Amino acid sequence: MDRPTASRLLEDASRHLRTARLALQEGDLSGSYQLAYDAARKSLTAMLLSRGLRARGLGAHAVLIEAVRAVFVEEKGIEVLRPLDRMRRIRNDAEYAGHPFDGDEVEHDLQTAAAIVGFAADVLRRST
Lowest-confidence range among 1-15, 36-50, 72-86? Answer: 1-15
Q: What angle do CA 27, 14, 84 make, to 5 degrees?
A: 75
Position 90 scores a pLDDT of: 96
Question: Can you give the pTM of this predicted structure?
Answer: 0.93
What's the distance, CA 59 to chain centroid? 15
Position 70 scores a pLDDT of: 94
Distance CA(61)–CA(45), nearest Å, equals 9
Give the residue numbers spanning the domain of 87.
3-126
How many angstroms separate the first and last alpha carbons of the chain? 11
Q: Specify the number of domains making up the chain.
A: 1
Mean pLDDT of all residues in 5-28 = 96
At 97, is the secondary structure helix, strand, or coil? helix
At 101, is the secondary structure helix, strand, or coil? coil
**Residue range 32-44, pLDDT digits in tens:** 999 999 999 999 9
Distance CA(114)–CA(14), nearest Å, equals 8
CATH number for the domain harbouring residue 37: 1.20.120.330
